[in-house]
Structure 1
Amino acid sequence: MNPGRVKRPSPKLGKVGGRWLRAGIWVGSVALLTVLSPLPKSHEFSDLKPGMVSDREILAPFTFFVRKSKEELKGDREKARLAVPPLLRYHRDVGGKELKRLEDFWKLAARARRDSATFLSLRDYPLQEETLRELVRTSRRPRTWRRFVRACTEVLKDFYGRGFLEDKSKVPPCSTGKVMIAYEGGEREVPLEDIWDLKGLRERLLSQLRARLLSEDLALLGYEVLTAFLSPNLSLDEVETRRRREEAAGKVGIYKRLIPKGYRIIGKHELVTEEHIEILRSLAQEKMKRSMERGAWPRARTMASWAVLNSAFYFLVMGHLLLFRRNIFGRNGNILLLSILFLIPAGTASYLRTMPELFFLLLPLPLSSMLATVLFDVGVGFVMTVSGALLSGQFLGNLGMTVLSVSAGTAAVASVRQVRHRKQFYGALGVLPSVYVIGVPVLSSVHLLEMGPLGKAMTLGALSGISFPVLTIGLLPIFETLFGITTNITLVELSDLNHPLLRELAVRAPGTYNHTIIVSILAEAAAEAVGANSLLARVGAYYHDIGKMRKPEYFIENQMGTSNPHDRLSPTMSALILAAHVKDGLELAREHGLPKAVQNFIPQHHGTSIMEYFYDKARKQMGDVSEASFRYPGPIPQNKEAAIVMLSDSVESAVRSLKERTPARVRGMIREVMRKKLEDGQLDGSDLTLRDLRRIEESFLPVLMGVFHPRVAYPERREVAGVRAGNGGTEG
């Protein structure tokens, strides 16, 4: 048996069930979808159409109610809303404050006739100078003044006792023409025409003063004064009004008439009308409902039908993973996450189907599409979109929503297909609302959507289009943490060379840091050449050797001309120290919270390969030794990216050891390293093909020749006095 194939990792969730757990997720998801599925629609009597002549007589087999059509129910609910009078609240304290202000004003005006300084205080009130002077002159006539003050105060008190609004036109209409006024002790219903507002109040104010004051001049003066003390003490309670109206709309019955048993619905040779169709549709639905309640078989048959349909849509996603994304399919955590993303729009559709069609625009399919795309890839996101839209459309019974969901989901997937920074979600914030704003009127024009006022539907669609990217940004870190998935956004954050681990590596093990940078360049180029995740390969390369920080002096790239401590150690001890950097690296990665996808590069970049130098040294010193003692603990690379980092690491070290780095010798070394890894079984778990290896070889060569390029040998610089003098005292 090949030693390189001994240690392979078990799946993350294999310990808790493996395939059985995966099957449980599948069965549970399909079962939940089936529970959420709506009752089937009966097609009995569907052969009868308005305008046809009935070929049979139909009698009511039992008593049942005729359901209202959507339009009738909508109209009745609107009537119920309009029948509820708007609620106005009476604020007693407003009148009290204004009357107290008026009383203080009278006192000031009375003092102003004797004290000129007090007259200046009157200017704080919003009255003209001439009005104030006329007021002071009037106060010098005691009898007239008392009559004037009493009349003005009584008029204002009457107005506040009655109550008035700021603007009556803002009160929502009511079919009864009335409003409800809420006082501290209860409520009173009054006609809206009896309610005054500021505009109407000013018209009545002058007539009231004229009736109480004999002088036209005094009435006009009182009018000028009292307009400064008018503050509405009635206000519209929009929230409570809306609540009461919605409550009334909710109480509207869904049935419009009762059909008794034996009633002749339609006779033979009778012309079929819309009324007949409504009654027959209600009869068919009632028959379906009773058959479901009466026997287990009809219900089981319906549930089985939905289970088959739900399975078809659900396994469209799972089949895509099995055929084209085996790396995703092999992990049960991914299956569970995708099942959740699939259930989110389906469950929402199940809830929305009982609501007005306008609310269908809240279907969160684009949310699931974006999450699937960012957490996995574009292909998974698109399949999720198509499958989820078809199923949600079935739940809602609305072809228009299927079309709109596919359009919005596809746009969502396209807008986040290459997201590496959170600010790139701004594109989705612009694209998605546009899809809804354009899609709703287009689909409404061909009668695939019936959502009422277009402006309201387009506004709700635009708000949904804005909210889905925002929710995606918020949910991404949660799903990443719960399911151990590393997105490109997280990888970009980890690629910052100012990360604490990388800065510490540069200080404590500068040779390893330099080696890491070169390996990352090689890995990124190779990953791009074979279509792997180049960002993951580069970030994995950055952190693959962080364990060397614990004992940097035991690795040759950090010795920098000093003595090699391995010269004083046995080969077995040296092998243990080298292998320990894998364990140390994993500990550091966990301490700093590196995601699992990045941690995997630390043990897998060596796989179970042998430490050839110390193994050969041990054989020379001790003869027959166990090869397993000189192998890294593994596991071998489990994806293309880890295998590429393994090859990059080995090739960089091997080429650095060459004394002559001509293209031919470098290419030969690359091939030799790849051959050894291939024969040792180190690439068996990575899915790399021979064609991929040739492409990796071609990508390595220019990078290595650029890094290890030869330099011109400059002659030794000598200071020659005559030359310096000849150059005008400067160095040439």
Structure 2
Amino acid sequence: MGSELRRGSVVVRLSLVVLTLLGLAAITRAWRPPAEFHAGQTPLRNLTARVEFKQPDDKATDEARDLARRLATAVYEHDPARVTQLKARVVNELSELASAESLDTVDPEIWASYALPPPAEGTPAPTPEQEQEQFAKLRTVLSEAGQLDAAQATLGEAFAPLERHGLMVRLPPEHEANQKQIQVRRVDSPGFDATVEISETLVENATRQLQRTFEQKLPSLDLAARVFNRIRTALPETLKLDPIATRAEQDRAEAEVVTQYKVFPVGSVLATGSKMLDEASLKLLDAERSAWLHARSSWESVLRFVAATALYGALFVVVAFVLRRHDRGVLSRLPRLVTLLATVLLTVAAMTLANSREWRAEAIPLLLLAMTAAVAYGRINALVMSAATTLIASVGLGLGTYDAVLLLGPASAAAIALDSVRTRSKLLIVGFVAAGVAAALALCVGQLAGLSLLDATQTAVRLALWSVIAASLMTCLLPLVERVFDVQTDLSLLELGDPAHPLLQELVRRAPGTYNHSITVASLAEAATESIGGRALLTRVGAYFHDIGKMLKPQYFVENQSRGDNRHQSLAPAMSTLVIIAHVKDGVDLARQHHLPERIIDFIQQHHGTTLVEYFYRQASSRKEADENAAAVDESAFRYPGPRPQTKEAAVLMIADAVESASRVLVEPTPARIESLVEELAHKRLVDGQFDECGLTLQEVSRVCDSLVKSLTAVYHGRVKYPEQEPSKGVSA
């Protein structure tokens, strides 16, 4: 890991990793344990309350609210004018009776209203003489000093409650509120409401009270009976139900009702073992979990946060070791590291948002991560990253073993199946492969988890559907993935390696010899890369562009020189070396101007590594030996600036490039000489340390050499020698 650390700041990389770990811990809410149970799950034992808690009792709350509406006081409008008018009429009538000289001068209707009820049924009506006597008796009572005023005062006292709270015959049918009290609002005095007993407002009760008052307060029982008989049938109904105000009063009473709770002590059975959890049981478990989380101390939350973050960090370490083994560029290049960390962070966040044990939609982000990682980092790295992300999501979301298997299975299948993308249908094929694995896993896991065949089948269909959808999304997102992760699929490499590419066309025009050299090297390197299981197509396309820098000064390179035209003869060895070495930097500049991918630019930078330009170095050394006064020869000035090959593909291109150039000067390119040349050049670069940073093993170097020998032998295979033809007469040979 030393080279990675030397290339960038350790502090920056560690800070980014720590920030990502903290982000993952925040997304998964690592300080609090996730929910353990979900709908459709069947616990193996009874689930009991760990702490005392209470849960809203909807039924009791509804009953309390209904009771509050029924106990709310209804609002009635009261018009006391009718009672006041009746009182005034009775007072006037009594005054008229007291001032009348005889019965003949009294209005018959008034006298009839004050008539006594017959004592028994069938009793004959009084005679005129009897009526005269009754009238005289009544007039005498009323005519006595102060008696009329006393009667008027008694009437005022008796009618005062009626004027205050009103009268009604009975409760109306629409009265669905308090049956004992009502709220009375007088129309003549807005804002002055009174709560009264319903019994006081009923005409029947008010009539009896009037009778008792008259009998107690009026001067004679005869007068009391006659006044009561006059009023009994004339009492008006002054109360009218106000439905809008009553409904508002009921709504207010209902709103004041607090939520009713049911208390569950510690040890209460919340769900029965061996019975599938239903919605009611889940509500109880959620309420108990909330109370339990609230009862936990801050120290417990901190410990869990630290433990979860440490676990995430351990998984990151595992992924880092695998990446270091298979793709060092991810760790050595800060932008690629940032992209990787952001991808994991976004994937876990998406899985958290899509988390649903019923729909299993969290499989989509995980599948996208697996396919993206397979494209960007290779299948092995994709498998490890998918497994690590699944474990992180399992800890954060509280997924069980079966859930993790259901998620990781399709993701692993997608990563394994996605070896290369040479056709547009490849990703869809991968999606269908993942769908088949997902369906089979869901059915098997369903049996192990004790699910019904219907539930297991539904899960299988959903996971298969998500797999196909994820593959379809990946097909659309592939260009974006290539740009963001700076990778090239075989599909894009085939497009990039088109001979019609502007840079290749310019190379053909300016440096045809270099172009032919690049084509030959591409063929050699592709076969050699394939022999060690590398990306042969990537090596081939990289070889096409590895020497594009030579087009700026093509005549300084032997493959573009005519016989006898060697421009280095007039240059000092050091200057010639600078010209030769400059083609690497020129090639990088041209590649960036034409927006070539970084992977291709790496081939341009690394195909010579830090090798020595031997021809001119020996020339300089020879001149130094011949002239002792000449300046000392610094070997580092005759080496390419590098870097050394960072990938196996770049190392293969380095060997193929050197072998192809050297084989051109073989006088007799027999298989033995070709083999000796290849082994010599490969061994020289191996000893020079050019393969130290690319992970190329000795066994792989041997395979590369064997492949190059076979390819060059085929190029320089022997031909049958035909006898020279005699020239025709008159034509020179």
Q: Give the structure-2-normalised TM-score.
A: 0.61
Identity of aligned residues (%): 34
Distance in 2 of aligned mates of 1:552 and 1:620: 27
Is 1:660 equivalent to 2:671 in the alignment?
A: no
Structure 1 pair 359/66, CA: closer, same or farther in 2 (3 Å)? farther
Structure 1 pair 42/593, CA: closer, same or farther in 2 (3 Å)? closer
Residues 564-579 of structure 1: pairs in structure 2 closer than 5 A: 564-579=566-581
Structure 1 pair 26/572, CA: closer, same or farther in 2 (3 Å)? closer
Q: Which residue of 1 aligns with 2:367?
A: 366
Distance in 2 of aligned mates of 1:65 and 1:452: 34
Q: Name the aligned partner's letter for residue 40 of structure 1.
A: P
Q: CA RMSD in A?
A: 4.2
Structure 1 pair 393/710, CA: closer, same or farther in 2 (3 Å)? same
Distance in 2 of aligned mates of 1:274 and 1:541: 63
Q: Is the 8 A contact 1:400 1:449 kept in 2?
A: no
Q: Name the aligned partner's letter for residue 375 of structure 2.
A: V
Q: Secondary structure at the match of 2:261?
A: strand
Correspondence for 2:261 among 250, 255, 258: 258
Query: By how many angstroms is 1:413 displaced?
Result: 1.6
Structure 1 pair 715/436, CA: closer, same or farther in 2 (3 Å)? same
Residues 527-676 of structure 1: pairs in structure 2 closer than 5 A: 527-561=529-563, 563-621=565-623, 623=627, 624-676=632-684
Structure 1 pair 566/460, CA: closer, same or farther in 2 (3 Å)? same
Runs of 4 or more above 6 Å deviation: 261-264, 272-280, 448-459
Q: Which residue of 1 aligns with 2:27?
A: 36
Query: By how many angstroms is 1:377 displaced?
Result: 0.8
Query: By how many angstroms is 1:389 displaced?
Result: 2.9
Structure 1 pair 315/580, CA: closer, same or farther in 2 (3 Å)? closer
Is 1:717 equivalent to 2:725 in the alignment?
A: yes
Distance in 1 of aligned mates of 2:266 and 2:640: 87
Distance in 1 of aligned mates of 2:560 and 2:399: 68
Distance in 1 of aligned mates of 2:593 and 2:299: 58
Distance in 1 of aligned mates of 2:381 and 2:602: 23
Correspondence for 1:503 among 502, 505, 511: 505
Is 1:700 equivalent to 2:704 in the alignment?
A: no
Query: By how many angstroms is 1:363 displaced?
Result: 3.9
Q: Is the 8 A contact 2:34 2:398 kept in 1?
A: no
Q: Which residue of 2 aligns with 1:414?
A: 416
Q: Is the 8 A contact 1:291 1:298 kept in 2?
A: no
Query: By how many angstroms is 1:323 displaced?
Result: 5.2
Q: Which residue of 2 aligns with 1:423?
A: 425
Structure 1 pair 67/344, CA: closer, same or farther in 2 (3 Å)? farther
Query: By how many angstroms is 1:371 displaced?
Result: 0.5
Q: Which residue of 2 aligns with 1:376?
A: 377
Distance in 2 of aligned mates of 1:539 and 1:351: 41
Q: CA offsets per residue over residues 268-311 of structure 1, 9 Å max, x none?
A: xxxx999998897466424322224xx42122123233324433
Q: CA offsets per residue over residues 364-399 of structure 1, 9 Å max, x none?
A: 211110001111111111222333333334415355
Q: Name the aligned partner's letter for residue 419 of structure 1.
A: V
The alignment covers a number of residue pairs equal to: 514
Q: CA offsets per residue over residues 143-197 of structure 1, 9 Å max, x none?
A: xxxxxxxxxxxxxxxxxxxxxxxxxxxxxxxxxxxxxxxxxxxxxxxxxxxxxxx
Distance in 2 of aligned mates of 1:32 and 1:263: 36
Distance in 1 of aligned mates of 2:620 and 2:50: 99
Distance in 1 of aligned mates of 2:276 and 2:684: 84
Q: Which residue of 2 aligns with 1:26?
A: 17
Residues 306-385 of structure 1: pairs in structure 2 closer than 5 A: 306-322=308-324, 325-353=327-355, 357-358=358-359, 360=361, 363-385=364-386
Q: Secondary structure at the match of 1:610?
A: coil
Query: By how many angstroms is 1:444 displaced?
Result: 5.0
Q: Name the aligned partner's letter for residue 23 of structure 1.
A: L
Distance in 1 of aligned mates of 2:276 and 2:481: 55
Query: By how many angstroms is 1:598 displaced?
Result: 1.2
Residues 123-134 of structure 1: pairs in structure 2 closer than 5 A: none
Q: Which residue of 1 aligns with 2:685?
A: 677
Q: Secondary structure at the match of 2:361?
A: helix
Q: Give the structure-1-normalised TM-score.
A: 0.61
Distance in 2 of aligned mates of 1:585 and 1:498: 18
Q: Is the 8 A contact 1:370 1:381 kept in 2?
A: yes
Structure 1 unmatched ranges of 5 or more:
1-7, 69-254, 267-271, 722-732
Q: Secondary structure at the match of 1:259?
A: strand
Q: Secondary structure at the match of 2:641?
A: coil
Q: Which residue of 2 aligns with 1:291?
A: 295
Distance in 2 of aligned mates of 1:365 and 1:63: 38
Q: Which residue of 1 aligns with 2:470?
A: 468
Distance in 1 of aligned mates of 2:664 and 2:276: 90
Q: CA offsets per residue over residues 312-337 of structure 1, 9 Å max, x none?
A: 44444334324555454444444433
Query: By how many angstroms is 1:592 displaced?
Result: 1.4
Distance in 2 of aligned mates of 1:29 and 1:689: 34
Distance in 2 of aligned mates of 1:420 and 1:578: 36
Asked which structure has the greater CA Rg, the reply is 2
Q: Is the 8 A contact 1:361 1:460 kept in 2?
A: no
Q: CA offsets per residue over residues 388-431 of structure 1, 9 Å max, x none?
A: 33333441535543222122112212332232333322312433
Query: By how many angstroms is 1:666 displaced?
Result: 1.9
Q: Name the aligned partner's letter for residue 289 of structure 1.
A: L
Q: Is the 8 A contact 1:60 1:260 kept in 2?
A: no
Q: Name the aligned partner's letter for residue 29 of structure 1.
A: T
Structure 1 pair 475/21, CA: closer, same or farther in 2 (3 Å)? farther
Q: Name the aligned partner's letter for residue 570 of structure 1.
A: A
Structure 1 pair 713/10, CA: closer, same or farther in 2 (3 Å)? same
Correspondence for 1:687 among 695, 698, 712: 695
Q: CA offsets per residue over residues 331-365 of structure 1, 9 Å max, x none?
A: 44444333333334422332234x57225365421
Q: Is the 8 A contact 2:53 2:287 kept in 1?
A: no
Distance in 2 of aligned mates of 1:263 and 1:676: 78
Q: Is the 8 A contact 2:663 2:674 kept in 1?
A: yes
Q: Is the 8 A contact 1:352 1:396 kept in 2?
A: no
Q: Is the 8 A contact 1:421 1:492 kept in 2?
A: no
Query: By how many angstroms is 1:19 displaced?
Result: 2.1
Distance in 2 of aligned mates of 1:599 and 1:48: 60
Structure 1 pair 592/448, CA: closer, same or farther in 2 (3 Å)? farther
Q: Secondary structure at the match of 1:547?
A: helix
Q: Which residue of 1 aligns with 2:389?
A: 388
Q: Is the 8 A contact 2:57 2:261 kept in 1?
A: yes
